[in-house]
Amino acid sequence: MASSSQSRFIFLGGIPVFDYIITPSLKEIFRAVANDLIMIDDKILLPLGTIFVCQIEDEKQLLYVNPMAACEVQKVNEKYYYTMALGGKHTEHTGLSLCLFDPAAILAELNQAYPEIIRDENDLKLVQVEKPTQIQLGGNNRNLIEAIHSLYDSPELESDSSGIKYEHLFFFDVKTPKFKLIKKFYHDFKVTIGNMVDMHVDDLLPRESYVITIEDEAADRRLDRIVLSNCTNEEVIPAEKLAQRYFDLEYKLRKDKDFIKTNLIINSLTNPEELRLVCRLLNTAYASSVTTFLCPTKTLFKCFDA
């Protein structure tokens, strides 16, 4: 490295995710469904109408999580169940809401979708999660940023790493109350996220995941986690705003003289329109001798297929 101030990491994709950490006990689930639970290999089947009721830490309002909005429904022995895969990730895909604060709204949705099965509140099976639900900031690039900092965070490397710059480019509705979690993380890790005007997109839904880790107290173990992810609406990002973001980045890679070594990390893109612009960016990065890391996540492969 020629100078400690002449190296940087630029991250694309892998936008921050708000992870709701939900830890019900297997005992609580059995109680709610009256023992009507099926476990086959890495699958857990719960009867329709099974809802997880969570108390968010430091908040009074209850959160109602409906996994049916992201899971497949199947019929077993003349009864309907939804299936969750231990260690799997399920994305919201039906007309149902994955998460609501109003139990009446959950009931209305389920009644409309399955009127013969979910008729009134007595047909709901509410799993009361005793442990408070924490909201943590997640996302693939967050993990990479932490890992890179850990690699360089030693006295031996301080002279070579003190000037390394980090930049993560993404869009967000900065009016979202939980945006303060994002600002704190990037401030603590000294990562630039650009100015709020360029980042902000009105009504852009934040990425949220409901991470369910079932505790089997009888066996003194935790089952592998289940991730339920919401659908986002990246189509609301104006095309001209997206194009300008990549034009500015291409220009920086071609013309910027402030840094000698640049590392471009492309991770977990979800917007097909953005992927088209990334392909053009890769040509510029190659011509500018920029080291590029393409992280082959499942999310990225889904974007390729879109």
Query: First CA to last CA across the chain, in angstroms?
Result: 40
The 10s digit of each residue's pLDDT in 165-208 is 899 999 999 999 999 999 999 999 999 998 999 999 999 999 99
pLDDT given at position 60: 85
pTM of the model: 0.88
Confidence band, pLDDT 50/70/90 cuts, at residue 153: confident
Distance separating alpha carbons of residues 227 and 206, to the nearest angstrom: 16
Question: Regarding predicted confidence, which is higher, 119 or 13?
Answer: 119
252 neighbors 224 (Cβ within 8 angstroms): no
Distance separating alpha carbons of residues 174 and 23, to the nearest angstrom: 29
**Domain extents for the chain?**
7-17+138-201+237-305, 24-130
**C-alpha closest to that of 248 among 17, 7, 12:** 12
**Is the pLDDT at 86 greater than 60, yes or no?**
yes
Distance separating alpha carbons of residues 303 and 273, to the nearest angstrom: 9
The 10s digit of each residue's pLDDT in 101-144 is 999 999 999 999 999 999 999 999 999 999 999 999 998 888 88
pLDDT given at position 193: 94
Provide, rounded to the nearest whole percent, the portion of the chain with pLDDT above 90.
66
pLDDT given at position 179: 95
pLDDT given at position 260: 67
Q: Which CATH number fits domain 7-17+138-201+237-305: 2.40.50, 2.60.40, 1.10.510, 3.40.50?
A: 3.40.50
**C-alpha closest to that of 70 among 304, 271, 227, 224:** 227
8-46 burial, b if ≥16 CB within 10 A, otherwise e?
bbbbbbbbbbbbbbbbbbbebbeebbeeebeeeeeebbb
The 10s digit of each residue's pLDDT in 279-300 is 889 999 998 889 999 887 777 7
Over residues 52-60, the mean pLDDT reads: 92
Cβ-based neighbours of 124, under 8 Å, separated by 6 or more:
49, 51, 103, 106, 107, 110, 118
Confidence band, pLDDT 50/70/90 cuts, at residue 258: low
